[in-house]
Structure 1
Amino acid sequence: MKRYLFSLLLVAFLAGCSSLDVKTDFDPHYDFSAASSYRWASESELHPNDVLKSNTLVKKRLMASVDKAMAAKGLVKTADADADLVIVMHAGVKEKMQVHEVPNPQPHLYPRRGYYPGWYDPWWGIHDTTTHVSYYDEGTLVIDLVAPAKKELVWRGVGVKPVKSYKDQSKQQEAFDKIVAEILADYPPGAQP
């Protein structure tokens, strides 16, 4: 029973850790209500070491998710150089380590072979835990909106989440749609969801 309860708590903890952490920032002097169109940044405007440059399949799916979210907000995608906003999307992946210390269920109360608990037990106390170490990849997706006239960043959304592998492309696209929608939820600033 205790093992089952521990497993259940561990799964709940890991599920809680996998939620998307979103942060946004914006220029309070920019008039977001005047923006009605956008275009994607050209290859020359992108960072050369971006993870998305080397994985074009993921990049296309993320771009489709952004296009869908921007259309839902009333912005029109255009290829014109005079678009109101330029979207620059970049990503990165970092290996992270997670350490869990779990208390053992009072092993000093159970006799070990040749040992009977008595007045002194050197293994009782602070050493009464088990440490579990796991490694995972954490992905960061940054969506920048740039005002092309001034070439200034006017809005930034950042989402951080553990990376998950998908066997099914449609499930990956659904996950990307949800992630991008969460990142762009606060665009335009001050808008009611």
Structure 2
Amino acid sequence: MKRCMVHCSVLLAVVLLASCSTVSVTSDYDRAADFSKLQSYRWPLDSEEIRKGDLLAEHPLVYKRVQSAVDRELRGKGYRKSTSQSADFIVHTHAGIKKLKTYHQRYGIEFPLHNGWYSPWWGPYGGFSYVSYYEEGTLVVDIIDASTRELVWRGVATRVVRDYQSPEDMQKDIDEAVAEVLSRFPPGT
């Protein structure tokens, strides 16, 4: 029985940790837009960028990593990157981080072999509560029609931000988030 409890608790911890690192993705688009006509794209010119207060504006190396991931995903979908004004659409990315907190409450009866803050035996106690803090990062990828300058598609990825030990770790998470977001572009694929 002890062995089963230990295995179950380890399995539960792994599942909970894995669920914390998943990317939540949403997207929306203009129903009147004809995405079949889009073949080439470009990034905003310096004069077009409105990035005041944007996390990517404050961290140009991260912005380059995001651009690289977006370029790779769009190239894989058959879109051609253009440096001229004649591109069919403009890709604009921005990001932010929000500090959040979660309240936790523990009640009543403990399970056998509990090695927590109170006691290692079965029995009621007053319980306790605690607060945990975390940061949630959001990456937004906008597709703007180059001729009308109107937003035609938006994809948003959200996940809990972690401390990165290396630029490669960060690139891996950026690649994953961008791939998840652009898996929904163009709509209907």
What band does the TM-score fall into relative to the shorter chain?
0.7 to 0.9
**Does 2:128 correspond to 1:130?**
yes
Please report how far the alpha carbon of residue 7 of structure 1 lies from its aligned counterpart in structure 2 after TM superposition.
Answer: 6.4
Aligned equivalents of 2:103 and 2:9: distance in 1? 16
Please report how far the alpha carbon of residue 6 of structure 1 lies from its aligned counterpart in structure 2 after TM superposition.
Answer: 5.2
Question: RMSD of the TM alignment (CA)?
Answer: 2.3
**Alpha-carbon deviations, 1:28-77, whole Å to 9, x = none?**
11111110110011233222111100101111111100000000110011
Whether the 8 Å contact between 1:46 and 1:88 is mirrored in structure 2 is no
Aligned equivalents of 1:130 and 1:43: distance in 2? 53
Structure 2 residue corresponding to 1:28, chosen from 27, 31, 43: 31
Q: 5+ residue gaps in structure 1? A: 108-123
The 1:168/1:106 distance shift into structure 2, 3 A limit, reads closer
**Does 2:58 correspond to 1:54?**
yes
Q: Choose 62-71 or 35-44, whichever is displaced more.
A: 35-44
Q: 5+ residue gaps in structure 2? A: 112-123
Whether the 8 Å contact between 1:139 and 1:163 is mirrored in structure 2 is yes
Aligned equivalents of 1:29 and 1:144: distance in 2? 16
Structure 1 residue corresponding to 2:68, chosen from 50, 60, 64: 64
Aligned equivalents of 1:105 and 1:186: distance in 2? 46
Please report how far the alpha carbon of residue 103 of structure 1 lies from its aligned counterpart in structure 2 after TM superposition.
Answer: 3.5
Which residue number corresponds to residue 76 of structure 1? 80
Please report how far the alpha carbon of residue 133 of structure 1 lies from its aligned counterpart in structure 2 after TM superposition.
Answer: 1.6
Which residue number corresponds to residue 111 of structure 1? none
The 1:17/1:170 distance shift into structure 2, 3 A limit, reads closer
Structure 1 residue corresponding to 2:18, chosen from 15, 33, 45: 15
**Does 2:156 correspond to 1:152?**
no
Which residue number corresponds to residue 164 of structure 1? 162
**Alpha-carbon deviations, 1:59-106, whole Å to 9, x = none?**
111110000000011001111111101011000001011222234534
Please report how far the alpha carbon of residue 3 of structure 1 lies from its aligned counterpart in structure 2 after TM superposition.
Answer: 7.9
Matched position secondary structure for 1:47: coil
What percentage of aligned pairs have identical amino acids? 38
Aligned equivalents of 2:95 and 2:178: distance in 1? 12
Aligned equivalents of 1:26 and 1:18: distance in 2? 26
